[in-house]
Amino acid sequence: MSQRDVRIAPSILAADFRKLGEELSSIEEGGADWVHVDVMDGRFVPNITIGPFIAEAVRDATSLPLDVHLMIVEPERYVDDFVRAGAHTVGIHVETCPHLHRSVAQIREAGARACVVLNPSTPASSVEHVLDDVDQVLVMTVNPGFGGQKFIEGMLPKIETLRRWIDERDLDVALEVDGGIGPETIGRAAAAGADVFVAGTAIFGAPDRKEAISALRKAAEDA
């Protein structure tokens, strides 16, 4: 497809936590670009997962950059902790930030890349005013909270709109998708304009991580 660089970010939510170190090595050796860390608080989403303590262990176990996705209420309370724990990028949900512009600035001041995340029901227009101030936009292609859900096709027009705005304004903003990304769906997300692809089940559910990552990358590049 385009000249856009494709980046693959495996989500450790689907990894075997009994052997997290080995799981991280398998994706690093398998050619992953980033590692996606899903933080859930049992409030914004029903599930509870990872805190800064585990993020720190992930940072120590891999040289891949940590793409931290905060699915928590009042994320500004924890931004600094996750940056200290090694987050390279911090993603905050628009739905949890009444002062989005301020929260984005907080992430950058703490020293990380700032990402704004949109639930499926949140329109692209909700981030239009901060597009010049962020490093990344993440379009959720499932309702957040769990791995292994089905890709929502209705998100494609939102990805196309954001891609158009980013290109029209000539911004250096990555466009990420997360949820239900696999060999059958990644091509459509890439064709719509995404360039960072989170995948949990499609990578950690595969016996050969290198093969899984290469297949995803190829499908995105060929789209």
Give residues in contact with ligand DX5 (CB under 6 A). Answer: 11, 13-14, 36, 38, 69, 142, 144-149, 178-181, 198-202
- The answer to whether residue 172 is catalytic is no
> Which residues make Cβ contacts (< 8 Å) with residue 72, sequence separation at least 6?
39, 40, 41, 43, 44, 78, 96
Least Å distance between CB 3 and Zn ion? 26
Part in contact with Zn ion (CB under 5 A); list of ranges 108-116, 145-153, 175-183, 202-210: 175-183
Is residue 93 involved in binding Zn ion (CB under 5 A)? Answer: no
Part in contact with Zn ion (CB under 5 A); list of ranges 23-31, 106-114, 128-136, 171-179: 171-179
> Which residues make Cβ contacts (< 8 Å) with residue 214, sequence separation at least 6?
30, 31
> Which residues make Cβ contacts (< 8 Å) with residue 222, sequence separation at least 6?
1, 187
Least Å distance between CB 100 and Zn ion? 19
CA dihedral of residues 67, 137, 195, 119 (deg, nearest 10):
90
Tell me the catalytic residues.
Answer: 38, 178
Binding residues for Zn ion, per CB under 5 A?
A: 38, 69, 178
